[in-house]
Structure 1
Amino acid sequence: MMRTLGRVGVWYSIDRLDEAEIRQLLGRVEDLGYSALWYPEALGYESLSIASFMLANTKKLIIGSSIANIYARDPFTSRRGLRTLSRLYDDRFILGLGVSHVPLVEGVRGHVYEKPVAAMRRYLDGVYDDRRDTAEWPLVIAALGPMMLKLAGERSAGAVPYNVTPEHTRTARAILGPGKLLAVEQKVCLETDATVARGLARHELARYMTLPNYRNNWLRIGFTEADLADGGSDRFLDAMVLWGEPAQIAQGLRAHLEAGADHVCIQPVHADGDVEGRDRTLTALATFQGS
């Protein structure tokens, strides 16, 4: 069963943190009243194992994978993992699945990267085991393009797009249709100096700039090759990372909700190791949940 999410959650790369630091983050997010914490699967913690740790160290917080790589475990394992975590932790786990990227699939795992939509469709066939109540499963898809969004609407509870704009959110809602969860990630930076904020944004986005999945989507939603050159234009950086005072950032978050998002996952962007900056951002934007 899919738990109801509040308007705002937190997205954070826990691979950067040790055990004590993860506990500290979980406590801060839960104490501030955020409804969910979303985390990626990269080269650190295994997705379902770390989800169990985080669920065990929280009381009410929903934990969502954003995303679990479909090449990291077979469909049967994902199904059993989802059912196990849901049963043991009061339905507080959401399994977000994604096709990942060629370097992480072929270069790191040694698999063959297949056509994304076809690969996801086959994977879901294995996860569901021909079940007919798929919309009720706490399972969502990392969907950017129209075909993957259509699949998310047809075969899952919704979508968790990453590195997107309110314009993409509006299109995603139209494709998903009503009644489907649309939880969008949005990077935020509590910094009023444009040079500093854009420098942090450029550093944070550098890892994504060479990945075709993201580049293709950025071009599809209106950015140009010039916007993506040399670390990103000001227009591109300002769209990907909302910066400024809390009220300015809140306005950008509200734009996603007005465009059709049910839930916005804020990702604090800060200097490496700046835990105080991260927590300051989370505290400053916690009041947005009720605004």
Structure 2
Amino acid sequence: MKLGYHIGYWQSGPPEGALEAITTAEELGFDSVWTAEAYGSDAFTPLAWWGAATSRIKLGTNIVQMSARTPAAVGMSALTLDHLSGGRFVLGLGVSGPQVVEGWYGQPYPKPLARTREYLDIVRQVIARKEPVTSDGPFYPLPLPGGTGLGKPLKSTVHPLRAEIPIHLAAEGPKNVALAAEIADGWLPLFFSPKADGFYRAALEEGFARPGARHTMADFEVAASVPVIVHDDVETAAGFMKPSLALYIGGMGAKEVNFHHDVFARLGYADVADEVQDLYLAGRKAEAAAAIPTSLVEDTSLIGPPEKIREELARWEDTVVTTLLLRGNAETLRRVAPILR
């Protein structure tokens, strides 16, 4: 497996030491570095700013939220960053959830799978620049019907550096994962667990078997964000992770629609996920974190002493994952990289 570095979300401002961590990842031979966005900092700008200090490492977005921009705008950003980086850009896209899509971006959420299919088609048309971009789909029709009547199909003024730029899709549910296998070049899972490898492998194979699928398992990228915490005490290491897990399981989405909650329910922690969600939504965040068993953390992370991490890494190497995306500062990367190799 390859190693990548995930900068993650900003909090009150840019993550301290981010540039040093990115350049360290490149020095250590990491394959890729990724930015994120939710409803604060965006994914493109930091990637261009910090990526300018690199020369080899791939630069990816994990993820750009589709509701934030039209597909043509995303195609423009992808063309631009691919040129500026010398062909190192990877476009990671995702639909997010209804709370963010409708509450922050003011865009409709229904039919996310059909939206994704139409969105990617337009993005690829923009990047390929073979002919003026058109779409007769219901979500992003181009040219826009009605209006002034003056709209016409256009081609980008910029010629692509590459006719195709890799596009990875973020997905958690089986239908979304299958769609990623069918129409994308890679999958960006969150809270992946080797225990669920068979479940996800089946979803991917379903997508690969569809007419027109672009890849097979042999040449499809799966870049999974995997927390790695080196610590002599497993319980202490797990404790560092539990507040963040409580946020995702309990608060990242409405009670009736929380895809992260569903991931852990499928993993065998349905009762735990329900309890964490109830506590978190009631404002009892510390209790929600305390309700998470260490086994849940271990199922989705690599934590503990170096020898334990090395032993458990073998489980990950047997899965569909092709790249482990790590987080932390430069010192963390220097410490963890030799263990994972």
The 3 A distance-change label for structure 1 pair 19 and 146 is closer
The SS at the match of 1:219 is helix
**For the residues of structure 2 that align with 1:180 and 1:47, how far apart are their CA atoms?**
23
**For the residues of structure 2 that align with 1:260 and 1:136, how far apart are their CA atoms?**
24
Assess if the C-alpha contact under 8 Å between 2:94 and 2:169 holds in 1.
yes
**For the residues of structure 2 that align with 1:237 and 1:160, how far apart are their CA atoms?**
19
TM-score using structure 1 length:
0.84
Deviations for 1:147-202, whole angstroms, at most 9, x for unmatched residues? Answer: 11221111110101011101334443442542211111111212222332222111
The 3 A distance-change label for structure 1 pair 99 and 89 is same
Aligned residues: 276
Assess if the C-alpha contact under 8 Å between 2:265 and 2:273 holds in 1.
no
User: Which amino acid in the other structure matches residue 92 of structure 1?
Assistant: R
The SS at the match of 1:15 is coil
Moved more, 10-19 or 195-204: 10-19
Moved more, 181-190 or 43-52: 43-52
Match of 2:79 in 1: 83
**For the residues of structure 2 that align with 1:181 and 1:188, how far apart are their CA atoms?**
20
Match of 1:286 in 2: 337
Equivalent of 1:238 in 257, 275, 298: 298
Match of 1:123 in 2: 119
Matches within 5 A, 1:1-291: 7-13=2-8, 15-16=10-11, 18=14, 21-129=17-125, 137-174=165-202, 175-176=204-205, 177-178=216-217, 179-210=219-250, 211=253, 212-226=258-272, 229-230=275-276, 231=289, 232-268=292-328, 278-288=329-339, 291=341
Assess if the C-alpha contact under 8 Å between 1:140 and 1:158 holds in 2.
yes
Moved more, 96-105 or 68-77: 96-105
User: Which amino acid in the other structure matches residue 114 of structure 1?
Assistant: P
List gaps (5 residues or longer) in structure 2. 131-161, 206-215, 277-288
Deviations for 1:174-232, whole angstroms, at most 9, x for unmatched residues? Answer: 42542211111111212222332222111222221133111112222333222553432
**For the residues of structure 1 that align with 2:275 and 2:7, how far apart are their CA atoms?**
26
List gaps (5 residues or longer) in structure 1. 1-5, 269-277
Assess if the C-alpha contact under 8 Å between 2:5 and 2:22 holds in 1.
no
